Structure formats: structure tokens, C-alpha cells
Amino acid sequence: MPLPEIIMNFIKYLSLEKHYSEHTVRGYQADLDSFCRFLVKGKGQHNTQDQQDFTLEDAKQISSKITSIEIAQLRSYLASLSMGSYSKRSISRKVASIRSFYKYLFKRGLIDKNPAALLKSPKGGKKLPKFMEYDEIEKLLLAPPQDNWRGLRDRAILETIYSCGLRISELVGIDISDIDFDNQVIMVTGKGKKQRLCPLGSHAIYAIESYIHARNRDADFKHSPDPKALFLNKHGKRLSDRSIRRNLDGYLQQSGLDSSISPHTLRHSFATHILNNGADLRSVQELLGHKSLSTTQIYTHLTTSRLREIYNKAHPRSR
């Protein structure tokens, strides 16, 4: 059987009420699956090949332990992860999932006190975001073929992510009506269904217009295509984030670029490049759709490192 009902209700809450992306919801579910296996077996596990479904007896045991657990047991769970192969970043993410889960239970009146309120993440869990140099960006943008509508689509996707610093979940949700071609802006729906206006660069506008024109002229869908969605697959349906990641992997290999680059790396590159070129932090926060300025501040570590490098090379008394 799947996870206990008390957890599945939380997962539904994240999806239906908080409007988290499918990718984010899967992450929460995996983290809480690991937590449940600790409650049953006394050690943290995560997505191993030989994991079995929970039995009905397991589910009852887990539900009982969830509502009666103390902070000491939660710390024991983190200790079991620390002794395993988990990085500090992975443990920090699991802590965040558990905190959110118990905050939900407390607010819904399912527990009398929140045992996770004092649970702390391990220090040093944050990792500087990876970004691409501009010449690497250019090489990637030139990778999709420009002689068919799907190649033009992929070029438009890459240009749009880099032009606006979009999350992939935001990108796949774009409708044609969200774009104001005259004013070169796009209405983006981010986390929690919050909307923001993002400027679109001229290269992105041109790529999108070229793709739409080619799609309308050349695409031969078996069924009526989605009339709203901007980016469609070969069946005329809204393109999925998995398809975009898969296509990106192919272009990375074709271009000889680092295979670990992801769509989110383009978002990191967007933030790093505009900060390096003089944008202020609060403007970048607004463009990225970050709720807190502290989330955006991680990029200042990258730009400060770059400034130090330039200073060391240029200043005659830097050393």
C-alpha cells in the first residue's frame, strides 16, 4: 500500500491548495517516505531498488508514531541520515519537508504541539548555485536545429528561460495569451500561483515568434492542438518538464557541454549574469519571483567571487 493517509492528505494539500509543482510535490513525498521507513525500521532510507510497499500494519504504526513523536526522535532520524551517505544539502531538504508536514498537522489540529518547530538543519547545507559562462550559453542556444518547428520550439524554450530566469514549472505553464509581444513582457505564474511580469529580450521574442509561425505552418498534429499552451509536443499537447529536460540533455551532448547542466542552471546563469552587469539585488529578487531577499542573496557569493578575480588580475597592488 502507499504512504499512510495522514501523509497523502498533506501531499494533496501541497498540490491542490499550495499549488506546488509536480516536481516539488514528488520531492516532499520522497522525503516523507524516507521518514516513514525510519519510523518502521529505525533507519532512514530513500528510493532504494529493493524497497517494498508499506503493509496495513506498517501504516497504522506510522500514523500513531507521527502524531506522538518527540523532538528527540526527530533528531535521531537526522542522526541516522548523517551516518549514511546523505549530503548536508539533502538532509536540509528533508528537515524542511518534515517541518512543513508538522506545521500542517498542527494548523489542522491533528497534533497538540509541533515537535519539529525546534528542528534545525545541519550547518553548511547550502551550496552555491552552478552557472554557465556566456560563451557556453551561446553554444547551447545555437544547438537546436532551425529547419523544423520542433527545433525552433527548443530554441525558443532555451531563449525564454535564459531571458527571464524562469523555473521549468513556470515555463511549461506559459500560455500564448500570457505574452505581450508589443511591450515585450510575459506574465509568469510562479509558486503558489503568484504572478509576476518579466521583460522578454528581443532574441527571445524573435525565437518565440519564429516558432509559432513554423508550428502553425508545418506541424501536423493527429488531434486538435491545445489552443492555449505556448510550447507543444508532437501530439499537440502541452510540453512536459521531463521532455524539456530530455531534449536539453541531447543538446548538451551535441554541444560538448557539461552533462550536469539543467534548466535550472540557465535560471542561475540569468541571475548571475545580470548581477555581474550591474543589476541590483531587489530587482533580481522580483525578476526571479523569490519571496525572500535572503534566497536571492546566494547569488552575491558568485558575483563577489567574480569581482575578486577581476580585481586580482587588474589591480597592481592586489597581492
| Alpha carbon distance 43, 195 (integer Å) | 41
Domains of the chain, first to last: 5-107 (no CATH), 134-312 (1.10.443.10)
Q: Which of 224, 218, 220, 219 is nearest to 237 (CA)?
A: 224
Per-residue pLDDT band at 318 (split at 50, 70, 90): low
**What span, in angstroms and rounded, lies between the C-alpha atoms of 175 and 113?**
43
Cα 126 from Cα 140, distance rounded (Å): 27
* pLDDT tens digit sequence for 73-104: 999 998 888 887 788 888 889 999 999 999 99
Whether 47 has a pLDDT exceeding 70, the answer reads: no
Max Cα–Cα distance, the chain, nearest Å: 72
- The cell for 81 is 541520515
CA dihedral in degrees (43, 24, 279, 230; nearest 10)? 160
In angstroms, the CA 119 to CA 122 distance is 10
Q: Name the average pLDDT for the chain.
A: 87
Percent of the chain with pLDDT over 70: 89
Give catalytic residue positions: 167, 191, 264, 267, 290, 299
Task: Give the total residue count for the chain.
Answer: 319
Q: Which three cell numbers stand for residue 137?
A: 550559453
pLDDT tens digits, residue range 122-164? 776 456 678 899 999 999 999 999 999 999 999 999 999 999 9
Does the model's pTM come out above 0.75? no
